[in-house]
């Protein structure tokens, strides 16, 4: 087995891991009870899956084609930067539009804080 086959095998394994992680996060999306828990599955596992696939593609271009792809590099950077922000914004919008937490939830500190905040603004 020469060096090139080894590199290709490694890249294939990275992309396979990315696919499996993406698949598992899709299962989590179906199994978890409410929008907040589903955001966990999407914000982390899906990000890792997409990152693995992109890194694998980047390595294919670098080693097999011998070409440093700036676009893929930018793609990795932006996926990494935007996925936590989007999950935060989705959760916040859901809470603001009164989507209730799942039945099994045990604690909600934010509810009291929002009630107090509303009182203060009414007083002023």
Per CB under 8 A, residues contacting other proteins are: 21, 24-25, 27-28, 31-34, 36-37, 39-41, 43-45, 47-48, 51, 70, 80, 84-85, 87-88, 91-92, 95, 101-102, 104-111, 113, 117
First to last CA, the chain: 76
Cβ 8 to other proteins shortest distance, Å: 23
Which of 59, 73, 78, 82 minimizes the C-alpha distance to 12?
Answer: 59
User: Among residues 8 and 34, whose Cβ is nearest to other proteins?
Assistant: 34
Cβ 1 to other proteins shortest distance, Å: 29
Angle at 17 between CA 35 and CA 69, to 5 degrees: 100
User: Among residues 8 and 29, whose Cβ is nearest to other proteins?
Assistant: 29
Alpha-carbon gap, residue 47 to 51, rounded angstroms: 6
Cβ 48 to other proteins shortest distance, Å: 4
User: Among residues 10 and 84, whose Cβ is nearest to other proteins?
Assistant: 84
- The full DSSP string for 35-74 is HHHHHHIIIIIIHHHHHHHHHHHHHIIIIIS----HHHHH
Cβ 61 to other proteins shortest distance, Å: 15
């Amino acid at each position: 087995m020469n060096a090139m086959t080894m590199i290709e095998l490694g890249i294939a394994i990275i992309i396979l891991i990315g696919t499996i992680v993406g698949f598992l996060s899709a299962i989590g999306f179906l199994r978890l009870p409410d929008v907040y828990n589903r955001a966990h599955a999407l914000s982390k596992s899906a990000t890792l899956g997409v990152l693995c696939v992109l890194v694998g593609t980047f390595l294919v271009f670098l080693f097999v084609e011998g070409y440093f792809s700036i676009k893929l590099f930018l793609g990795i950077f932006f996926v990494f930067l935007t996925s936590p922000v989007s999950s935060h914004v989705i959760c916040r919008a859901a809470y603001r539009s009164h989507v209730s937490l799942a039945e099994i939830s045990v604690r909600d500190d934010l509810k009291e804080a929002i009630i107090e905040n509303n009182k203060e603004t009414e007083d002023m």
